[in-house]
Amino acid sequence: MTDLRDPASQLLAQFGEQHVVAFFLVLARLSPLFILAPLFSSKMIPARVRGIVAVALAIGLSPVVARHAELPTDIVQLVSLLAKELLIGAAFAFALGALFAAISVAGSFLDTLIGFSFGGLVDPINGNQSAVVSQVYSMVGVLVFIVIGGDGWVIQGLAKTYDVVGLLEYPSLARIVNGAGEAFVGIFSAAVQVAGPVVLALILTDAAFGVVSRVVPQLNVFSVALPAKVVVGFLLIGATLPFVAAWLGSELQRDVGQALQTLKVG
């Protein structure tokens, strides 16, 4: 006799309601990571691959995080839990994205000062249009992220969110909003830390050429200043990149801890 049950009923019958509910709740927390977080949401990774990885992680995590939880099967409670899981995942992904946004903003500062902002290229990392220095900083950020095992840190950090906020627990919304605000403000302060030395050197270069134009007015300063700023800019960017890489490694670890602290219940 043909089984006329719908696929959802068959899935529930095969794996049990608790396992299926846990899977979808975990997937809801993981999904924002592959939509919003740096590298995980890269346009270079096909959407299908990201989806497969998210599903595989959810299959691996769900039996562990739901081991002692009695999950509801009521639709209203499930919708509420799914919304909460999406919020937690989005908050975690935003905290990580803020760090890479700071690097991109720092690159944009330098592009504007050097004069590269007039010509933009498509950034292969995020698919947006950006200038040369911004792309260099983004690629260095991704390389450092991969070399230090940042992907492992992020996945471990996301797994640790279940120690902070269980499947049946709700974080403080006010704390999440405050944390998001602090992360947003921190983008600009971090960008200044990254680009500050080079920005200062470029401003001093501009000031020096301003003095030269006053002392030697017949000299076409503009034709000399632009190439000089490019040379000074690239020399200093090359000199400071190792420090930027070291800073990024320490900040990534701090941001994961800060995101967990923001989500903490109570």
DSSP state of 117: G
pLDDT of 78 > 80? The answer is: yes
Contacts of 24 (CB under 8 A, 6+ apart): 82
| Res 7: pLDDT | 62
| pLDDT tens-digit map of 230-243 | 888 888 888 888 88
- Among 129, 131, 138, 139, smallest CA distance to 110 is for 131
Percent of the chain with pLDDT over 90: 6
| Res 119: pLDDT | 55
Higher pLDDT, 212 or 50: 50
**Cα distance between residue 53 and residue 64, in whole Å:** 18
Backbone angles phi, psi at 16, to 5 degrees: 95, 145
pLDDT of 80 > 50? The answer is: yes
**CA atoms within 13 Å, Cβ hemisphere of 251:** 26
**Cα distance between residue 253 and residue 248, in whole Å:** 9
Strand 129-130 and strand 121-122: pairing? antiparallel
Q: The whole model's pTM is what?
A: 0.74
DSSP state of 45: S
Q: Where are the domains of the chain?
A: 7-263
| Res 144: pLDDT | 80
| Res 37: pLDDT | 81
Count of C-beta atoms within a 10 Å radius of residue 21 = 23
Which of 22-26, 66-70, 112-116, 203-207 tops mean pLDDT?
Answer: 22-26
Strand runs (DSSP E) across 90-232, as ranges?
121-122, 129-130
| pLDDT tens-digit map of 118-171 | 555 545 555 555 667 777 888 888 888 888 777 787 888 888 888 888 888 888
**Quick one: average pLDDT of 45-49?**
86
| Res 244: pLDDT | 81
| pLDDT tens-digit map of 170-221 | 887 777 788 778 777 778 888 888 888 888 888 888 888 888 878 877 777 7
First-to-last alpha carbon distance for the chain, in angstroms, is 54
